[in-house]
Amino acid sequence: MAKTKELSKDTRNKIVDLHQVGKTESAIGKQLGLKKSTVGAIIRKWKTYKTTDNLPRSGAPRKISPRGVKMITRTVSKNPRTTRGDLVNDLQRAGTKVTKPTISNTLRRQGLKSCSARRVPLLKPVHVQARLKFAREHLDDPDEDWENVIWSDETKIELFGKKSTRRVWRTKNAELHPMNTIPTVKHGGGNIMLWGCFSAKGPGRLIRVKERMNGAMYREILSENLLPSARALNMKRGWVFQHDNDPKHTERATKEWLRKKHFKVLEWPSQSPDLNPIENLWRELKVRVAQRQPQNITALEEICMEEW
């Protein structure tokens, strides 16, 4: 049988008001366009409970006891990568048979939601301290300073394939807790390697790196693309160049080349790609390229340049 629409509070109160002035249930029903039985139920409820508000409903009993809820909540708090299947099996061994959706609903009521684990750089204590030092040193930098930075990086773009994900149970705003993330490390190779740069004013140059990059090649890329990008972006005098601590970037010859060219370089903490806003640009580029579904390396390169 179809569920009837619940009467508004104003309508329920109107029924009681008309009843109190002496109108019959039939007359009230005709005036408000309601069934006599509906009017009678509202009046009886008001006489019994002195209110027309909805009363708490008992509903079906919970499948999982309070003790069981505590058990599975404690389990996922200790190990967020516990699967729903694991929890179903745990409860079954304790004498409670439930389904996976019941597990999800129960944990959601505890403020826990199944989410994809974030991929973050693998950090050692020295990296943590360097990142904290960087953050403190630049905490009060004005927006104008950041607008005068050219951010750069290399990235690889796959022709096919999809990154795997892992789900974790976590509370809101806990996505970056170490227990809820997947550590990643840098690795070379890939179907197409790109170097690019950008600033708050827009994208600079993007080029494909066709060979294995070394220090000499990196300096050649900077020589041919960094200053032209700065000019095209109309950077202010004293602009700052950012790159990470890849060995090619930090070797003595590269540092000396940058010094001779009088480029100001932003001191950068190791293992901190997540601090570089170009990562957002790379993601946007990869999403747009994937949507166009290139079928070969040549098309992949062409689409990357078009989308950039």
Following DSSP, what letter does each residue of 233-269 receive, concatenated?
A: TTPPTT-EEE----HHHHSHHHHHHHHHTT-EE----
**Once rounded to an integer, what is the mean pLDDT over residues 50-62?**
77
Query: Which tops the pLDDT comparison, 235 or 271?
Result: 235
Tell me the pLDDT of the chain averaged across its residues: 89
Q: What is the amino acid identity at position 80?
A: P
Whether residue 147 is found in the same domain as residue 106:
no
Whether residue 149 is found in the same domain as residue 283:
yes
Number of domains in the chain: 3
In a domain, 169, yes or no: no
In a domain, 72, yes or no: yes
Give the pLDDT band of residue 162 (cuts 50, 70, 90): very low
Separation between Cα atoms, residue 72 and residue 90, nearest integer Å: 8
In a domain, 33, yes or no: yes
pLDDT at residue 123, as a whole number = 86
Q: What is the amino acid identity at position 225?
A: N
Q: Is 299 left (phi over 0), alpha (psi -120 to 50) or beta?
A: alpha
Whether residue 152 is found in the same domain as residue 283:
yes
Whether residue 15 is found in the same domain as residue 94:
no
CATH number for the domain spanning 267: value is 3.30.420.10
Q: How far is CA 277 from CA 33, 204, 233, 243, in A?
A: 62, 14, 17, 11
Give the pLDDT band of residue 169 (cuts 50, 70, 90): confident
pTM of the full predicted structure? 0.61
Q: Is the pLDDT of residue 187 over 70?
A: no
Whether residue 237 is found in the same domain as residue 281:
yes
Whether residue 270 is found in the same domain as residue 239:
yes
Q: What percent of the chain has pLDDT over 70?
A: 93
Residues 6 or more apart whose Cβ sits within 8 Å of residue 111: 171, 172
Q: The domain containing residue 280 runs over which residues?
A: 141-161+189-307
Whether residue 215 is found in the same domain as residue 293:
yes
In a domain, 45, yes or no: yes
- For the segment 6-50, what is each residue's pLDDT rounded down to a tens digit? 788 889 999 999 999 999 999 999 999 999 999 999 999 899 888
pLDDT at residue 189, as a whole number = 35
Whether residue 264 is found in the same domain as residue 229:
yes
Separation between Cα atoms, residue 126 and residue 134, nearest integer Å: 12
Whether residue 237 is found in the same domain as residue 151:
yes
In a domain, 219, yes or no: yes
Q: Is the pLDDT of residue 134 over 60?
A: yes
Smallest CA-to-CA distance from 68 within 97, 45, 100 is with 97
Whether residue 86 is found in the same domain as residue 217:
no
**Do the beta carbons of residue 170 and residue 120 sit within 8 Å?**
no
Q: Is the pLDDT of residue 206 over 70?
A: yes
Whether residue 203 is found in the same domain as residue 287:
yes
Helix (H) or strand (E) holding 53: none
In a domain, 23, yes or no: yes
Whether residue 36 is found in the same domain as residue 81:
no
